[in-house]
Amino acid sequence: MTTARKTKTLINCSSTDPNKILPMKYQWAREHYKTGVANNWTPEEVNMQKDVEMWRSPDALTNEEKRLVLWNMGFFSTAESLTANNIVLAIYRHITNPECRQYLLRQGYEEAIHTDTFIYCCDTLGLDPDEVYNMYLDIPSIRKKDEFVIDITKSILDPEFTTQGTENVRRFVHDLVGYYLIMEGIFFYAGFVMMLSFLRQNKMVGVGEQFQFILRDESVHLAFGTDLINTIVQENIDIWNEPFKKDITDNIKTAVQLEYEYARDCLPKGVLGLNAEVIKEYIQYIADRRLEKIGLPKVYESKNPFPWMSEVIDLRKEKNFFETRVTEYRSGGTLSWDD
């Protein structure tokens, strides 16, 4: 009897058993998994006492600064759940490779941690949950981002969808770009800059630290998503034609515009040396990096107006990100940041 050696592929791999994780083909999936484990954290490890005092004090924060915090709570509180649901309900069943599934389970867990972070922030700061958790509906600039992601990822949420055939593989990669590069790689970044600016100025330091942890996780999600997309393209090179590349680039350009509108809405007047125009430059810089990582030409050629984003992050890494925390995760120093 001949047993032909089956080749593992990322999708459409009914010929191999999804429960046989060894031997592994995609080492990058394993590496991202281990990085995720090394970065373990929970929101309760961050002390929120100073934030509570600042939030309640009548004059510690201006109304504009409070608006900025609230808008980011409104966006992230529901966006994290949306991402978790996408992984479980849409992406997981189509990725037939076991080492990637292992990573997706890890990512799903991290999204649960992020969802928990916003529960913790609402509870400690005493925010009105009805207000915060309805902002994705009530605030147009938040709603437009979520609607855009839902719109460009609707193919794979369809229970009838399969990844059989070139056109469907193309749809799948198109939607993965929506989840990973646009939602996690662009729509989170204006918020990251704003909240880390607060941290730099010693304002809302607990929330700022939570955002730092989330940023570190998201940079791994993004790296996994980029590897996933690039490998599916390599294995299905027929999908990678000019109209498709243009379609992806156009979606990223729309996302940059929506993220700019969001920043303008968060910062109608500008605070903390921040304004929507500078954030726009940053988002354009980030978008160029996302395009380059999947082999597409840059669109904006913008410079990074916040070199401190990576400086702060690198400094933290050298000092050991975890040294001020109660719980020690020994392997926590082994992380590689992207932006």
**Binding site residues, Fe ion, CB under 5 A:** 80, 111, 114
Residue 221 makes contact with Mn ion by CB under 5 A:
yes
Structure tokens belonging to residue 55: 């939030």
Minimum distance, C-beta of residue 168 to Fe ion, in the bound complex (Å): 27
Nearer to Mn ion, 76 or 282 (CB): 76
Reference 120, options 177, 176, 190, 46; nearest CA is: 46
Nearer to Mn ion, 32 or 280 (CB): 32
Q: Which residue is nearest to Mn ion (CB)?
A: 221
The verdict on whether omega for the bond into residue 23 sits within 30 degrees of 0, i.e. cis, is yes
Q: Please, what is the minimum distance in Å from the beta carbon of residue 125 to Mn ion? A: 23
Minimum Å distance from CB 6 to Mn ion? 31
Q: Which region, judged by CB under 5 A, interacts with Mn ion, from 10-18, 30-38, 45-53, 213-221?
A: 213-221
With CB under 5 A as the contact rule, which of the stretches 130-138, 193-201, 220-228, 331-339 interacts with Mn ion? Answer: 220-228
Nearest distance, CB of residue 83 and Fe ion, angstroms: 5
- Report d(CA 244, CA 231) in Å as an integer: 16
**Per-residue x/- marks for Mn ion, 67-106, CB under 5 A?**
----------------------------------------
The verdict on whether 120 is a catalytic residue reads: yes
What distance lies between CA 84 and its chain's CA centroid?
11
Measured CA distances, 275 to 64, 200, 221, 269 (Å): 12, 16, 28, 7
Of residues 120, 133, 179, 180, which has the active-site annotation? 120
The tokens describing 118, both together, are 């916003």
Rounded Cα–Cα distance for residues 93 and 324 (Å): 40
Work out how close the CB of 84 gets to Mn ion at its nearest, in angstroms, rounded to a whole number: 8
Instruction: Check residue 216 for interaction with Mn ion (CB under 5 A).
Output: no
Nearer to Mn ion, 83 or 251 (CB): 83
Residue list 147-186, contact with Mn ion (CB under 5 A): 184
Whether 184 and 225 have beta carbons less than 8 Å apart is answered as yes
Which residue's CB is nearer to Mn ion, number 49 or number 85?
85
Task: Report the candidate in 82, 150, 81 with the shortest Cα–Cα distance to residue 119.
Answer: 81
**Phi, psi (5° rounding) for residue 17?**
-80, 120
DSSP code string of 133-158: TTHHHH-HHHHHHHHHHHHHTHHHHS
Residue 186 contacts residue 286 (beta carbons within 8 Å):
yes
Query: Which positions are catalytic?
Result: 120
Q: Which residues bind Mn ion (CB under 5 A)?
A: 184, 218, 221
